[in-house]
Structure 1
């Protein structure tokens, strides 16, 4: 196997970082004009898509064509689906309570604080988490069984996330379910099918570069950081803190896995949100 092209990859990192920053700055400008910062969540998926396309464009002449295309298409498919879903979910709503609470404590300008603590931070995370997608553009040699296993894991994750989001949207759209805890379908097997899906997606994309030890070493931080965000950071832990006092949530929590899917425990009743 040929040597990993560090100099070309380093230049790609600069281009990818520039693109992630550009997406977040444009989103910030739109958010300030609209007076709603929740649209940064839409930019999360768009940012990954933009980084993947940029890395693909600047890496022409390097890496294996099949691996390069897989990394780009899988990332763009995941990112664009997520962006569209979040945009639809937030249509017609005001500020996200998470951002409202954060910005209420802002010292000085709310917008300047949001730029520092939300947009620039998310731009940096997009660049960091997307390292496997960037590195995959430069890995020589045809994808091995390990890389195809990564594609399969990505498919499991994307399916979990899309199905879980669709199930929750249908549940909430029914007025008869107002106040109820969503505990059906995938939500009966894990309290966070969308977060578990993200977990599988990014570990799957990481496996795409594991044919090359150098690329794997530089990219390993990506799925680790994403896992921490999903389980200990702004994902699962923050949402469950928000839901903790809802009627019926304690019972739901007692019978349903917190992250990795498993059959629900028997013997506890269904609650109401």
Structure 2
């Protein structure tokens, strides 16, 4: 328990630094949607720092670090390219207008602090694994399954993002609904890939006690992706787009499934 406390504190400090730097960048450029870029960077930083501080089984810690770092840096790079040159996120504009009062305090507490806490909770499987001993017996099968699931998630998300980026880059597609490639099997391949990554990370952590207790991480991530800030919120915005109702009727919401004819 003492080792985990050290890892937990170190992770919290790392996330605080990441969010503080991101807040400073946001203030400088005049928009706070840069916090979306910090999501992957912060989790990748925890995946690197936690095993160094924890000193647990190096094989499992290295596997988790590679998965989370590749996933996190790719996602952050994607979000940076997506937000570069764009205006402020409408969610944050609405939040600041609704809350009023001290805008700096609102931004820090409602955006950056909230994300830091969420990152700490999501990274629990990585933190717990960083202090665990070697995995023996059947536990190795869980590690293999978890790694495969996470890799599938990274690839699924990356391919979905690349397909959407190419679709939007073609002027002939302006005003059209993306319904090709992975987007013909699920309306949210990027969110589904994210969920796979963190369920995979959890399975790796669950290969040894008490990693199984960190199930709050993939559950919380899936909730964010589907309800809180992800798919459902985006669907409400997209519902006004011409052709989206038909797209919804023939395409699976979240889990990939062959499209209806």
- Report the TM range for the smaller structure's normalisation: over 0.9
Decide which of 133, 141, 144 is 1:140's aligned counterpart. Answer: 133
Structure 1, unpaired ranges of 5+: 1-5, 267-273
Q: What's the TM-score once normalised by structure 2's chain length?
A: 0.96
Quote the Cα distance in structure 2 between the aligned partners of 1:49 and 1:211.
Answer: 21
- Report the CA distance between 1:138 and its aligned residue: 1.9
Match of 2:184 in 1: 188
Decide which of 139, 158, 162 is 1:162's aligned counterpart. Answer: 158
Is the 8 Å Cα contact of residues 57 and 133 (structure 2) preserved in structure 1?
Answer: yes
Q: Which moves more between the two structures, 196-205 or 129-138?
A: 129-138
Q: Which moves more between the two structures, 182-191 or 204-213?
A: 204-213
Is the 8 Å Cα contact of residues 51 and 58 (structure 2) preserved in structure 1?
Answer: no
Quote the Cα distance in structure 2 between the aligned partners of 1:180 and 1:85.
Answer: 22
Is 1:114 paired with 2:110? no
Structure 1 SS opposite 2:110: helix
Match of 1:16 in 2: 11
- Report the CA distance between 1:9 and its aligned residue: 0.9
Match of 1:256 in 2: 251
Root-mean-square deviation (CA, aligned residues, Å) is 1.1
Is the 8 Å Cα contact of residues 160 and 182 (structure 2) preserved in structure 1?
Answer: yes
Is the 8 Å Cα contact of residues 15 and 54 (structure 1) preserved in structure 2?
Answer: yes
Is the 8 Å Cα contact of residues 128 and 210 (structure 2) preserved in structure 1?
Answer: no
For residues 240-265 of structure 1, the C-alpha deviation after alignment (integer angstroms, 9 at most, x for no partner) is 11111111111001100000000000
Structure 2 SS opposite 1:94: coil
Is the 8 Å Cα contact of residues 23 and 43 (structure 1) preserved in structure 2?
Answer: yes
Q: How does 1:83-102 map to 2 (within 5 A)?
A: 83-102=76-95
Decide which of 42, 55, 67 is 2:60's aligned counterpart. Answer: 67
Q: Give the 4+ runs in structure 1 shifted more than 3 A.
A: none
Structure 2 SS opposite 1:108: coil
- Report the CA distance between 1:104 and its aligned residue: 2.0
Quote the Cα distance in structure 2 between the aligned partners of 1:17 and 1:245.
Answer: 40
Decide which of 198, 204, 220 is 2:200's aligned counterpart. Answer: 204
Is the 8 Å Cα contact of residues 189 and 257 (structure 1) preserved in structure 2?
Answer: yes
Quote the Cα distance in structure 2 between the aligned partners of 1:204 and 1:210.
Answer: 10
Structure 2, unpaired ranges of 5+: none
Match of 1:41 in 2: 36
Q: How does 1:164-243 map to 2 (within 5 A)?
A: 164-217=160-213, 219-243=214-238
Match of 1:53 in 2: 48
Q: What's the TM-score once normalised by structure 1's chain length?
A: 0.92
Is the 8 Å Cα contact of residues 51 and 131 (structure 2) preserved in structure 1?
Answer: no
